[in-house]
């Protein structure tokens, strides 16, 4: 997993509460047809299979959420996982690349999560781990450390 600097997000004008829930992805400062969740691009990586991993947030310190977005080589969104809770904050402090498929995310200096990018969709539980929510399949796996 290689850190890169080719993507950015289009800026929004007007009042924050009127901003759309998807932001246009810019590639080398040129508009693309891809829209992703979030307003601020924090980190970006190229994967060995030429996929891309983006980490975005919503630029809201009181109810911050962090989005993990996997794009294919044609900049199509393959998977999205969110770190978010109502009236809470997942303020990202640090990202550490562990190897070609794994990142370690640190929130608030003491909450650690491992993000694993798999080659195929695997079953997983929703972030909240509520038993009544059905499992779904994704390439982005989360594990609390």
Domain residue limits, the chain? 2-144
- Tell me the C-alpha distance between 59 and 65, whole Å: 8
State residue 123's pLDDT score: 79
Kind and range of the H or E run holding 23: strand 22-27
CA–chain centroid gap for 30, Å, is 21
pTM of the predicted protein model:
0.90
State the 10-residue block means of pLDDT for the chain, 145 residues long: 97 92 97 97 96 94 87 96 83 95 93 94 66 71 93
State residue 133's pLDDT score: 57
State residue 109's pLDDT score: 81
Are the beta carbons of 68 and 115 closer than 8 angstroms? yes
């Amino acid at each position: 997993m290689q850190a890169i600097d080719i993507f950015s997000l289009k800026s929004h004008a007007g009042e924050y509460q009127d901003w759309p829930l998807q932001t246009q992805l810019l590639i080398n400062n040129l508009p693309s047809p891809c829209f992703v969740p979030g307003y601020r691009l924090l980190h970006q990586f190229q994967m060995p299979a030429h996929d891309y991993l983006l980490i975005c947030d919503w630029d809201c310190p009181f109810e911050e959420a962090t989005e993990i977005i996997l794009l294919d080589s044609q900049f199509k969104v393959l998977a999205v996982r969110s770190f978010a809770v109502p009236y809470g904050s997942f303020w990202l402090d640090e990202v550490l690349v562990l190897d070609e498929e794994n990142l370690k995310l640190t929130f608030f200096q003491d909450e650690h999560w491992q993000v694993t990018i798999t080659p195929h969709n695997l079953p997983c539980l929703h972030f909240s781990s509520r038993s009544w929510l059905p499992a779904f399949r994704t390439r982005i796996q989360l594990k609390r450390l």
